[in-house]
Structures are given as structure tokens and as C-alpha cells.
Structure 1
Amino acid sequence: MAENGEEKLLAMARHIAKTLGNNENMADDIFQIFSNFDGRFSREKLSEKTCDNEEDPKSSVAALELGLKSLDRQISQYVAADHSIWADSADSVAFLDAIDELIAIIRDWSPVAREKTVGSCLARADDLMQQAMFRVEDEFRSLMERGGESFGLSREYRNGESTGNLSFDSEDEDDGGVIRNDEDEGIPVAHPITDYDIIIDALPSGTISDLHDIAKRMVAAGFGKECSHVYSSCRREFLEESLSRLGLQKLSVDEVHKMTWPDLEDEIGRWIKGANVALRILFPSERRLCDRVFFGLSSAADLSFMEVCRGSTIQLLNFADAVAIGSRSPERLFRVLDVFETLRDLMPEFDSVFSDQYCVVLRNEAITIWKRLGEAIRGIFMELENLIRRDPAKGPVPGGGLHPITRYVMNYLRAACESRQTLEQVFDENVVPPPPPSKLNNDRRGSSSSSLSVQIDWIMELLESNLEAKSKIYNDSVLSSVFMMNNGRYIVHKVKDSELGILLGDDWIRRHTSKIRQFHANYQRSSWNKVLGVLKLDNGSLAPNVAASTMKERIKLFNTYFEDICDVQSTWVVCDDQMREDMRISLVKLLLPAYGSFIGRFRGVPELRKHVERHIKFDAEEIEARINRMFQGNAGSTNRRK
């Protein structure tokens, strides 16, 4: 036994010299140090060629068999244990030491494994190693499960300091918050997340250290993938539970497409909160935990992290993809924009968290789906164009008021352009060919030159063409002008009062304001020129006996024309309060001077002096009062601007 012990000691010394010595000179130096330290380590004994087994192969193989037999007894004892080895630190240390010895034997003897006796020994060693790995794998799993249970669901850290236990629950909070147990009352209390400077550790430091010790041995023994698998299976459950507590469901593309729009809106809201928590808190926390468990084992750490997060990441991305390839109804724009912006804002997190070789596929998939969401947004704008083109001219709007398509499109564009910077990014990332030059006004000085501005300008052109077609439905050309005034004024007001003004520019606003003035001029000319013509007199051209009859005829015509116009146009609508007031004032200024002059001449005709009141139906105050009652619209048809 003493000889065997000395042989093992010498073999260990040779192994150290071989491991540390990069060449023969260094090995000799190490032999000299050992010889000076202990006489048993003579240079003659230490310099035996144990690795090649040239001098005494039978003795070396015997030592190998003896060492394996001893390790078999030790390892088998722990493999067969019916209690946790890591319940006792002495047991765990002894077990790992035995595994280390077994790893060293397999490594050192593998170069001569083709020798029959050595190969047989190594086969037994491999079998023993497999048994040991099965047991440490079970211990690894148990440590993770017990560690998570004893530590609560998770622990939150800000700037390296623990702030208590937390869990996620979407049902009890509206702001993507976390639920903490109030220590005094034991009642879950929602605390909204105001920042994401949070790290979650689901395992105690001692457990992480034990897991690291096991992981090192499993990787060294060639069982790194098995270790990563058992690690990822445990942590994957935690992530899936966390996403579930955030209210996220595992939905297929078909299930997303079959959802009603209100339900999908709610699901998108939950997705946005969940994606932020996952990418800013959960995934970085898993990356940190993975790096601690697999410290110094970067490949195993990267593989494990990818396997932990892959399923949850795909779940998040699949939902975003389902939204991207779903219906392109214009009403969906704003929620699709929310998903696009969320994914865009999380790209730095994707880049930092999924930076290794195993996760590059997930990172690239996130970029692909983000771009697909941009395509969906552009597609929604194309559908808006089609909606405008297809909107039928079913019948005239009562009173020439605001058409529903005008209100819909302008409020839609105004709301959309609150995300102007995002939309500019969407349209500029993949420049859309502009419409034919003939369809757009070439004078765009003062406007944005972005692809989005081209898109908005084109939509405005389509809307204007649509309204012009609808204006032709009116039998009265004057009412057509009022209709175009109402809708044009509404459009300009919405443009000036929003981001649309920046996109379309001052020149666009000036041009369309000028069009409104032209419609106003057309209205006045078509409606009131006939009335003004009746009041117009040619001085000195009328003989006295003809003047009286002509004056009587003209005042009669004026009364008829004026009353008919007021009766008809009192049912018409001018939606904008300021424009309605301006129109009334301009009519008063246009009509009253001519009417006053005519009445003065009328009173000057001798034959008419005795019967003036019989012919003059309206005085100046009544004229102004009748004008002020115009453009009110009938009850129920008044179409005010909103």
C-alpha cells in the first residue's frame, strides 16, 4: 500500500510538471524544485516517461486501474445516495474532487487510448463519468428549483441594492407595473414601473456559486450542452410564467387575425407593456444570471441564454408579426404605430442583450419584423387612398355643409401626424415612388421635402378631387361653391393647427386659402349680382314718366329676389363661425350702400311719394337682420366644425 501511495504521489508530480512545463527545459526546472523539496522526488524517479508508458507500461496501467477503482467506489457512493449531495458542503466538495480526478485521468490517457488495456480502462472511465454527470445534472436541477422556491419568485435590485420580492400581474395594474407584497399587511400592492433600472435575481448567491461549480465540471467533461439544457428548461419556465403574469397569451397568427378589433387593441396594449418589461428587465436579468452561473464558460453561457429566452422572444415577435401582416384597415394605423415604435425603441436592448453568436437570429428577426411593421403602415396609407377614391357620391350634404369624408380624412391625418417623426422614418426608410408629376402641384416651396410630405400632399389631392366631384351633385352652382368653401376652410384650419402645416408648408396653405376666397367670390357673384343689377340706376337716362314705373318694377323685383335668396340660403350651412360672420358682414357692406342709394332715388320720384311705404318692404335694419339669419341651416342639418 505504501508503494502504491508513493507511486500515486510520483505520478501526480509528473502530471504537474507535464502540465506546467511548456518545454523540456521548464519541465527539468520543475523536477529540480520537487527534488529539492522532498528526497522522494528524485530526478531519476520524476523523469520517467509516464505519458508514453515506455519504461514500465504494466506498472502505469496498473496504477490507472487502481485509480479508477478507487474513483468508482467514491463516485458510485454519491451517485447512489438517496439524499441531496449538496445538502452537505463536505459531500459536494468530495464529489466534485472525485469528478476532477476522473476528468484528469480521461484527459491524460486519451492520447494512448488505442492501446487495448488503456482503451478498456478509458471505456470504464467514460461510463463512470456518465453516471457522475447524470447525478450532477439532477443536483443542478434540484439546486435551481430549490433556490428559486426559497428565494421567492424573484428579487429586485436597483444600483446593486435589493428592494424586496416582486412578481408581475397585469390584472391589478394598468401601467405595466410590478406587484409587491406589502410587508405590514401582506396585501399585493401595484407599483407602476417608472424606469427600468432593475435587475432581477431569482437565485441566492450561494446557489449560483454551487451551480457554477457544477457547470464547470460538466463543461470540462464534455457535457456542456446537457448542462445548458437543464439550466434553460428551468429558467424558461420562469420567463414564461412572468410573461403570463403580464397578461400575454401565446397566440397563433390565425388567432390574432380572428380577434375582434377591440380585443386586439387590448392585447396590443398588454404586449407593449410586456415587451418593455421583457427586454428591459427580464432578459437582461437572465443574461446576468447566466453569466454568473457560467462564469468563464462564455460559449455555454451564450447557448444557455439563447435557449432560455428564445421561446419568449419568439412569442413576442410572432405577435408583432401577426399585427404587421394583418388587416390594413385605416383604423388600425395608430395601434400598428404603437407596435412599430415599441419595437423600434427596444432595438438597442435587442442589440445589447442578444449580441452573441447564438442570438443573432433573434436580433435579425426583430429587425425584419420591425421593417414589416413599417411596410404595414405604408400599406395602411395606401388603403386610406383607396377609401377616398371609392367613397361614393351618394347624395348632396344638406345645406352644402361639411362632408363626412372631409372630417374623417382630416382628423385621421391630424392624429396620425402627431407621430410625424415616426411616419417620416417609416416613409424615408423605404422611399415610396411619388405619384405622377401631373397629379401633384410642383410648387412645394416652404414645405417639407420628405417622402411623408409627398404622401400627405397626394392624399390631399385625392380628397380635393373627391370633393370637387361631390360638389357637382348640387343642382345649384352657388351651393356648390358654398360646399367647397366649407370643406376647404375645414381642411386649411386642420392643416394650420397641426403637424400637417409643417409637412405641407406655408405655400400650400396660401394656395388653398386663395381657393377659398375664389369660391367666396363665385358665391357672391352668382347669388347677388342679379340683386345688385336691379338696384343699379343710370343717372339721367330715365324720363320722368318712365322712371316711376321702372322704379316700381325694380323695387318689386328686389323684394322678390332678396326674399327668395334669404329664404333659400337660410337653410344653407357655413360651418366655420368666423367665415359665416365674415360672409354676412361682406354681404351687408355690399348690399346696403346700393340699396340705400336706390331707396333715396325712389323717394325722390314725385309720383311715388304718396305710396312709398306700399312699395318699400325692407328698411336697412331689416335687410341686415335677414342677412344675419342666413347660413344657419335647418334643425338637425346644421354641420358645425369639429
Structure 2
Amino acid sequence: MRSLCFQARTPSFAFPSSRASPVRSISAPELAMERVIQLVEPVILKWNPDFSTYARVTSLFYEEKTEALEFVKCVNDLQQAMQSLVSEDSNSEKLVRAHWLMQMAMKRLQKELYQILSLNRSHLDPESVSVRSSRTSISTRSSASDDDVDEGDDDRRDAHAAGASSYSSSEVEEVYSIAMADLKSITDCMISSGYGKECIGIYKVVRKSIIEEGIYRLGVEKLSASQVQKMKWEAVETKIKSWLDAVKVSIKTFYGERVLCDHVFASSKSVRESCFGEITRDGAALLFEFPELIARNTKKSPSEKMFRLLDMYTAVSENWPEIEVVFSFSSTAAVRSIALNSLIRLGQSVQASLGDFQSKILKDSFKPSIVPGCGVHPLTIDTMNFLCLLADYRNVLDDIIVSEEKPKSPARPPLPESYFDSPDRDSNTSAPAISVRIAWLVLVLLCKLDGKSKKYNDVSFSYLFLANNLQYVVSKVRSSNLHYLLGDDWIQKQEEKINQFAASYERIGWGNVLGQLQTIEEKSSREASLEETFKRFNSSFDSTYRRQSSSTVPDQELRERIKMSIEQKILPAYRALYDSDTHRAESAMRRRRIAQNSVVKYEPEDISRRISELFSDPKSQRPVAVTASM
């Protein structure tokens, strides 16, 4: 009968009661615990999903905000009372009941935590969080959060939630602010109550799935070295492009996750460090391992993949400050190490690419070795196009060269003082390392071209070939970022060489014609000799013109300059002789005889027209499109 009469009617009394014990005095902590239990028990039981259908289908934090705040306050009060009593009497029966209520409350808070994280995936998207937060928020929270948080300060928490809502200018911002405040309220309560493991477990599962799903959707996938080696370069390039796009988004994602984690777990540095590391470590490792994998395992020669390597190096190096800040925890040191190893490996591969590029210039696989018409050689075109692209990466390349060469000696190839005002001349005014390296590569090209010029049978063609190719080099330098690397002094020195080559071409190629004009002037007083000398001039001019008309000068400015110089040397002397008093004083019969014998074959205007038609062969070479195939 006793068991029937005293059968518990609610779960709160479903506890085994102790046997009657001698009456003893109740301590202050026990009395306080008794009062707390009486206050919190109805609230906690109301939201127990095992005992109430209403609690099972209703969200405490979404639909009953006032009761949610009261619920958290009850749990905090219960925890404080338990701490006071356990120090007084750890065997108190009231502690057993309090512990039972605490477990029930924690189960409810776990459910609420999961619901908030799941239902607010879009509002708590890491990238969106990163946009809402300032760049200084991470360091500020990391340094100040441990001192600023008062776990029992519910008034401040309420004010924060209300302030965030009123400050927001849109419904989205309001939902975001409320969710952030609710998450922090729950996690603070659970961690202070000794249920941090359960709290962190739920948070990690939800947030890690969001991070990894986002990276997967960006096209970043796990690849092995053997898979990369089997891929065609086109497929590798596609994955590199996807990775480059993914990096921009992923850095914001990791930053946003760090902001969220720092806010939600502001009460415990160790918890937020452990939690953030677990959530992001695998995804970040997958992201930052990719560049090293590509640099180490692709089958293409270094020069063929160089610009993609530079793109990846740029992406990591530009985001390195953010990487260091976001992954500043000791638990995420492995992520920083992976990113740094990728930078090092990419830098080494770029250095190998530069060496490979230089070797290709020296080996020169272009056939034939000489260009018809003395035009611009394909080696010159491809080399300069390649160097122009390199110049667009000048800052990154300078970092790579400096970092790679610092431990080594000598650091840079020596350059002639007359060729480039290099740092070898004056260490106090040293040029960037990339400037010296580019200048060296151009010098290697010019030396190779000098060797090719000697394969022309006509020496004048050799000089015209050198003038054309050096002019192309200078024009590409002027119109690209190479201008900033090599400088105006370098350009001026090369232009002086172009003028020297052009002058040598005129002297050798047209020297015979000029020599005949001098002979005509010397023999102008003797008619027979004059007629013979005109014939020699005609023959010399015809043969020289015929030989030189096969030449081309693709650069318009250089072409006009050379033609003007030739005309200024030939035409005035020829016109003077043509209009000389001796010639005009000849009798009509004599002039008719000379005309009949075609002694004076050209009018001065004919000479001018012929010279103006030089070097304008429509088949002359045109610069090809910029490629990275060198």
C-alpha cells in the first residue's frame, strides 16, 4: 500500500528516496540548493522532449525567446548552487537530483544547438560571416575574449542580442545577429556546466560538414601523385583554374569560420582553438596541398607550366597574411606548414623553369637557323613574348629569386657594365633580382642572335638581321612591364647599338654605290670616262638594289630611318652630277647619243622612288601572338 500511495506522478519524483535518517541541521548551501531546485525544476521539465509533446515539437529559442533566456538562467543558477554544495557536502542527495535535472537541461540545449546550426546554414555561411566582420575582429577577439566574458552576465547577453537586432538594417542581418547571440548563450551555458565535450561535438559535426561541402563544390578534390602524373596538361590546367577560383572563396570561408568560432566559444580559448582546428584542418590541408602536388608531379617541362605555377604562387603569397592570422593557433600550425611548403616548392619549380627557359634559348631548336629577308627570328619573338609575360609577375618573381638565391653564392650571373647597370657594379644601388635575371636572359638571346647573324653570306645582311632583331627586343621592352625592370638607360644603350648595326649595314651594303658616285665626281671632266662611269654606277645600283630588295625591316620607324639615311647619302651626290654644268653644256647630239646608249639610266626621282620601295616586302614577318610555349 505504501508503494502504491506514494507512487510518483511526475518524472521529477521518479527518484529512489533514501531511508529515514536521523534529523540533522540543514546547511546554508543545502537550503540554497533546495530553493534553486524548486525554481528550476518546473522550467526544465517543461522543455524535456521525453515527457512533453509540446517540448518535442516546439523550438525553445525560435518560438519562446523569453522562456529560452529564462531556461539558460535556470541552468546557470543550478550550476552555481551545485558548485557551492559540492564543496560543502559532496554526498548530498540534493546533488543527485540537481545532477539529474542538469542532464535533462543539457539534452535540451544540445537539441537547440543543433537546430540553430542546421536551420541557419545560409545565415551563418562562413563567407558571409567574413564579409560582415572586420579584418581586425579575429585578433581583437583572440586577445580580449578571455577577459571580457562574464559567464553569468545574462543582462549583457540580452543587451547584445537586442542591440544586434536593432543595428541590423535587414531581416537577414537580424537573423544572423540573433543566431550568433543564441549560439553563444547555449555554448557558454553548456561549457560552464561541464558539458563542453557534448557541445563541441555537435558544433564540429555541423560546421565541418559545411566547410568540406563548400570546398568540394568549389572543385577542389583529393588527388594522388599518380593521378596527377597520368593527367594530360589540359586537364591539369583546368584543375588549376578551379583551384585559383577556390582559393579566393576558401580564404574568406576559413576567415568567416574563425570569426564565428571565436564568437561562439569566446569564453574558452582552448575550446575555440580545438574546435576551429578540427573543423578546418582537413579542408585547409586539401586546399593548400594542391600547388605542391602539381609542382612536383606534372609531366610537362617547367617552362610550359611556369605561368600556372606563378599564378598559384601569387594566390598563396598574396593571402599569406590572412593564412597566418586565421590559422594562428598552435593546433593549426600544420596548415601553415602545408601552405609554406607549397610556396617553397612552387618557388623551386619556377627557378627550374627559368633555367629550362635559358637552356632552350641556348639550344635553339628553330629551323632554319637564318631568316629570309633578315627579319625577326622566331627565337626572338617567342623569347620576348615569354619575357613580357614574366614581367607581369615581376614582384612575385623577385621574391622567389631572392628567397631561393640568398643561401647560395654567387647569387646572380655577372653582366657586362656596358650592357646593364647591374647591382654587380654598385651594391649600394642594387637593382631588383628579377631585373638582373631578365637582363641576363635578354643578353643570352642577343648572344645567340649574334651567332646566327654570322651564317649570312652577305655581311651587310648580318648587320641588318641584328638591327631588326634588336629593334624588336627594344620595342617589346618599351611596350611592356619589362620597361620598369630594365630601365631607360638600358633602352638607350640598345638603341645606340641598333644605330651602329644600321650604319654598318649601309656602309657595307651600299658602299659600292657610294664609291661609284665618288668616281663619277672625280672623272666628270672627261666625257668618255664619264659615260663609262655612269654605266658602272647603273650596274652597281641595279645589282645592289636587286640584292637588297629581298631584305625586310618589319619595324616601320627603323625602316624609314634606314631608307632616309641611304637616300641622304646617295641622292644629293647623284642629283649634283646629274645637274652639273658639264652635263648641261653637252650638245643636243651628244645628249641624244648618251640617252640612246642609256648612259644616264635614272632620273634623280627614279633613285628616290627605288629607295623608298626598299624593305617593304609584304611577306615580311609579323610578330606572333603572345604565347607561353617557350
Question: Which residue of structure 1 aligns with residue 393 of structure 2?
Answer: 419
- Cα deviation, 1:13-68, whole Å, max 9, x if unaligned, reads 5999xxxxxxxxxxxxxxxxxxxxxxxxxxxxxxxxxxxxxxxxxxxxxx9xxx9x
Comparing both chains, which one has the higher relative contact order based on Cα–Cα distances under 8 Å and sequence gaps of 6 or more?
2
Question: Which residue of structure 2 aligns with residue 626 of structure 1?
Answer: 610
Counterparts of 1:128-527 in structure 2, within 5 Å, are 139=111, 142-144=114-116, 146-148=118-120, 156=128, 212=184, 215-216=187-188, 219=191, 224-225=196-197, 227-256=199-228, 258-280=230-252, 282-325=253-296, 326=298, 327=300, 329-392=302-365, 394-395=367-368, 396-431=370-405, 433-437=410-414, 441=418, 444=421, 449-527=431-509
Q: Please report how far the alpha carbon of residue 483 of structure 1 lies from its aligned counterpart in structure 2 after TM superposition.
A: 0.9
Q: Please report how far the alpha carbon of residue 410 of structure 1 lies from its aligned counterpart in structure 2 after TM superposition.
A: 1.7
- Cα deviation, 1:506-557, whole Å, max 9, x if unaligned, reads 332222112111111211111111122222238777995xx51x33333222
CA distance in 1, matches of 2:404, 2:607: 60
CA distance in 2, matches of 1:205, 1:214: 14
CA distance in 2, matches of 1:267, 1:109: 60
Judged with a 3 Å threshold, the aligned counterparts in structure 2 of structure 1 residues 578 and 87 are, in CA distance, closer, same or farther, namely closer
Q: Please report how far the alpha carbon of residue 106 of structure 1 lies from its aligned counterpart in structure 2 after TM superposition.
A: 9.6
**Coordinate RMSD, CA, aligned:** 4.8
CA distance in 1, matches of 2:196, 2:289: 30
Judged with a 3 Å threshold, the aligned counterparts in structure 2 of structure 1 residues 542 and 324 are, in CA distance, closer, same or farther, namely closer
CA distance in 1, matches of 2:535, 2:622: 34
Judged with a 3 Å threshold, the aligned counterparts in structure 2 of structure 1 residues 230 and 146 are, in CA distance, closer, same or farther, namely closer
Q: Please report how far the alpha carbon of residue 293 of structure 1 lies from its aligned counterpart in structure 2 after TM superposition.
A: 3.0
Asked if 1:573 is matched to 2:552, the reply is yes
CA distance in 1, matches of 2:173, 2:301: 42
Q: How many residue pairs align between the two structures?
A: 542
- Cα deviation, 1:185-241, whole Å, max 9, x if unaligned, reads xxxxxxxxxxxxx9x999866666665566456645766455433321211111223
Q: Please report how far the alpha carbon of residue 375 of structure 1 lies from its aligned counterpart in structure 2 after TM superposition.
A: 3.2
CA distance in 1, matches of 2:191, 2:236: 45
Judged with a 3 Å threshold, the aligned counterparts in structure 2 of structure 1 residues 269 and 529 are, in CA distance, closer, same or farther, namely same
Q: Secondary structure at the match of 2:435?
A: helix
CA distance in 2, matches of 1:91, 1:410: 70
CA distance in 1, matches of 2:493, 2:486: 11
Q: Please report how far the alpha carbon of residue 476 of structure 1 lies from its aligned counterpart in structure 2 after TM superposition.
A: 1.8
Question: Which residue of structure 2 aligns with residue 32 of structure 1?
Answer: none
Judged with a 3 Å threshold, the aligned counterparts in structure 2 of structure 1 residues 105 and 409 are, in CA distance, closer, same or farther, namely same
Judged with a 3 Å threshold, the aligned counterparts in structure 2 of structure 1 residues 569 and 370 are, in CA distance, closer, same or farther, namely same
Structure 1 length normalisation: TM-score?
Answer: 0.70
% identical aligned pairs? 28
- State whether residues 594 and 600 of structure 2, in contact with CA within 8 Å, keep that contact through their aligned partners in structure 1: yes
Q: Secondary structure at the match of 1:492?
A: helix
CA distance in 2, matches of 1:257, 1:107: 65
Judged with a 3 Å threshold, the aligned counterparts in structure 2 of structure 1 residues 94 and 227 are, in CA distance, closer, same or farther, namely closer
Structure 2 length normalisation: TM-score?
Answer: 0.71
Counterparts of 1:87-106 in structure 2, within 5 Å, are 87=59
Of 25, 29, 39, which aligns to 1:12?
29
Asked if 1:552 is matched to 2:531, the reply is yes
- Residue identity opposite 2:205 in structure 1: S
- State whether residues 220 and 246 of structure 2, in contact with CA within 8 Å, keep that contact through their aligned partners in structure 1: yes
- Residue identity opposite 1:320 in structure 2: P
- State whether residues 440 and 458 of structure 1, in contact with CA within 8 Å, keep that contact through their aligned partners in structure 2: no
Counterparts of 1:40-79 in structure 2, within 5 Å, are none
CA distance in 1, matches of 2:319, 2:87: 49
Question: Which residue of structure 2 aligns with residue 170 of structure 1?
Answer: none
Q: Secondary structure at the match of 1:498?
A: coil
Which ranges in structure 1 are unaligned for 5 or more consecutive residues? 17-62, 162-197
Judged with a 3 Å threshold, the aligned counterparts in structure 2 of structure 1 residues 150 and 450 are, in CA distance, closer, same or farther, namely closer
CA distance in 1, matches of 2:414, 2:591: 66
CA distance in 2, matches of 1:157, 1:506: 48
- Cα deviation, 1:304-354, whole Å, max 9, x if unaligned, reads 111111222122212233344355543544433333232222223223322
Judged with a 3 Å threshold, the aligned counterparts in structure 2 of structure 1 residues 617 and 343 are, in CA distance, closer, same or farther, namely same
